[in-house]
Amino acid sequence: MIRHDVVVVGAGCAGMRAAIEAKRRGVDVAVVSKLHPTRSHSGAAEGGINAALGNATEDSPESHTFDTVKGSDYLGDQDAIEIMCHEAPGDIYELEHMGAIFSRSDDGRLAQRPFGAAGAPRTVYSADITGNVLIHVLFEQLVKHEVKVYEEFHCTQIVVDDGRCAGVLAWDLVRGGIHAIEASQVILATGGVGRMYYGTTNAYACTGDGMSLAWRAGVPLKDMEFMQFHPTTLKSNGVLITEGCRGEGGYLRNSLGERFMAIDAPNAMELASRDVVSRAEWKEIADGRGVDGCVLLDLTHLGPKKIKTRLPGSRELALDYAGVDPIHEPIPVRPGAHYHMGGVDVDIWGETIIPGLWAAGEAACVSVHGANRLGGNSLMETITFGRRAGQAAGDRVRSNGDSGARIEASVVADERRRIAALLGAEGGERPAVLREEMAKTMYDKAGVFRTESALTEARAAVHALRDRARNLQLEDRGSLFNSDLVQALELEAMLECADCLVTGALARQESRGAHSRLDYTERDDDRWMKHTLCWHDGGEVRLDYKPVTVTKYQPLARSY
C-alpha cells in the first residue's frame, strides 16, 4: 500500500500549484496524473491570465471583482471572487519569480492586454502561449520540490472511510493493475469536461473524471448546466483561436462584411462577454449571414508585424488547420464548447463536504465564474485556488496529523473485479460509438441556445446512453497501455456529468450567462439567483439548490 500525507489528483496548473504549496508546508506530497504533467490541458491556454496590476491603464482588484461578478451574471459567489481578484497580483509576481517569462511593455513592466468584458487591459500573457509557459514553470518547481509524481496513473475511485477521505484507487496505465494510494488529504484537480461536446476546444483527456468521482463519493456537483461556448473556434476540429486576437483589435464580420456585434454590444463590440458574442454569432449563422456555418474573424487590418509578434500561435493554427493566413484573409470561426463553469462544490479553501477531500481548478466550482467565466480568469483561478487548497490541506496535516482513514483490502479487491469484468465483457457496444452519440446530442440539444423540448430529448438520450454504457465491449483486453479501457472509464464519467448538465438545465427556467433558454429568455433573480446542486441518488441525479453569496454587488441588468 502506498501512503502520503497529501495526494493531488491532476497535474495541470491547479494540481501542480496545490502540490507545491502543500510541500512547502513540510508534509509528504504526491501527484497522481493520467498524463505527463506538461501534457495537461492547461498547457494549451493561449491568451493569458488576469490580475489587476494596473500596468497598462489604471486598474484595481475592486474593478476586477466587479467585472467578474457582472460577467458571472450575478451567480458567482462574491466572497470567492474578492479573494481571487485581491490575491491575483501577488500570485502573478510569484509566478514571475518562479521563472515565468511574460511579455513586457516598452517600459519593461509586465504587459497587459484587453480581454472581453474587462474594464481595463488586465490580462498578463506570454505571447499567445501563456499556458505552455506556466505549465513548464510549475513542472520545474514540482521537480525542484521533489514531489513524487505517479504519472500515467488513471484514478478510478475516491475511497471514503467512516465519512473521511481515505485516498484513491488508480489504474497504472503503463504496467496495468489497480493501486491503492492512501492519504490524509486528497485534492482533486482533474480539469474540465469539454469532451462531452462535439467540436470542443478541449483536449481528449478533458473528460470530467474528478467530477464524477466526487459525485459518486457523495459530494454534490454545483452549477453543472453552465458550459461556456467560446466564440472563436475552428470549424474543422474545434481548435481554439484565442480571445487575444480580439483583444489585439480583431473584428468579427458576417458574410456581408458587417461587424455584427454592433447590434448586441454596441459599446464593447467584439470584446463583450463570451456568452454574448457566441449568441450573436449563432444568430448570424442561423439567419443566413454566416459563411459555411461560420462567421469571420478578421485580423488583416492589424498588419503583419503585430500578428507575427503578438499572435504567432494563432496564425500557425489558422494556417495548419484552416488553410488561411490571417495576415491576408479572415479566419472562419464558430462557437465551440470551451470551459465548464460548474464542478465539485467547494468552499473558499477548496474543501468539499467530505473531510479531507478538496478540489481546485476547472474541476471545482468555488464559484468565481458563476454563469459565465471571463477570459483569463480561469488560469488565475487555478493558481490562486490551487495554492489555497494546497496550503489548507498541508496545514491540516500539520495540525491534525494522520487522519486515521484507511483503504480496506476488500475495497481494492472490488475495484479489481470491476475492471476485470469490464475487460472481459462480451457482446456490448464500443465506447467510441457511444462517445460520439453523446457529443453530438449535447452539441445539438444542450448547446448555445436551449429549449424545454430539446433538453427533454437530450436527457432521455443521455439516460439511454448511460443504460447502454453498462454493457460495453473492449477490443483491447490487455493490461498494458490499454487506451480502450481508459475510453470506457472516461465515457462513464462524461455521461454522468452530461446527466447532471441536462437535468440542471431543464430545471433552470431562465436565461443566465451561458445558459440561454429560448423559452425563458429573461434572467429571473427572484426564482433562480441560486446555485444548482446535483447529488448522487442511487446513480440518478437529484437536484437541490443553495444561495449565492452576495457581499457588495446587488444584481443589475447586464449590458456591454
- Residues of the shown chain interacting with ligand FAD in the complex, contacts defined by CB under 6 A: 9-15, 32-35, 40-42, 44-49, 130-131, 154-155, 189-192, 201-202, 205-206, 209-210, 240, 339, 361-363, 375-379, 382
Q: How far is the CB of 368 from ligand FAD (least distance, A)?
A: 11
3-class secondary structure for 477-490? CCCCCCHHHHHHHH
- Computed on alpha carbons and rounded to an integer, the radius of gyration of the chain in Å comes to 22
Closest CA to 224 of 559, 538, 542, 454: 542
Nearer to ligand FAD, 332 or 361 (CB): 361
Closest CA to 13 of 490, 343, 360: 360
Q: How far is the CB of 10 from ligand FAD (least distance, A)?
A: 3
Nearer to ligand FAD, 33 or 68 (CB): 33
The contacts of residue 348 (CB under 8 Å, 6+ apart) are: 77, 79, 80, 83, 366, 388
> Is 109 considered catalytic here?
no
The contacts of residue 191 (CB under 8 Å, 6+ apart) are: 10, 12, 14, 40, 41, 42, 205, 206, 210, 361, 362, 363
Q: How far is CA 305 from CA 118, 210, 308, 311, 328, in A?
A: 25, 43, 5, 10, 13
Q: How far is the CB of 395 from ligand FAD (least distance, A)?
A: 21
Q: How far is the CB of 13 from ligand FAD (least distance, A)?
A: 4
* Helix axes of 13-24 and 130-144: crossing angle, nearest 10 degrees: 30
Query: Over the range 14-39, which residues count as b (16 or more CB within 10 Å of their CB) and which as e?
Result: bbbbbbbbbbebebbbbbbbbbebeb
DSSP 280: H
Q: How far is the CB of 173 from ligand FAD (least distance, A)?
A: 9
Nearer to ligand FAD, 45 or 280 (CB): 45
Cβ(1)–Cβ(170) below 8 Å: no
The contacts of residue 414 (CB under 8 Å, 6+ apart) are: none
When CB distances to ligand FAD are compared, the closest residue is 12
Nearer to ligand FAD, 16 or 529 (CB): 16
Q: How far is the CB of 206 from ligand FAD (least distance, A)?
A: 6
Amino acid at the residue 395: D
Selected catalytic residue, list 25, 195, 253, 274:
274
- Three-state DSSP at 356 gives coil
Nearer to ligand FAD, 122 or 523 (CB): 122
Q: Which residues are catalytic?
A: 274
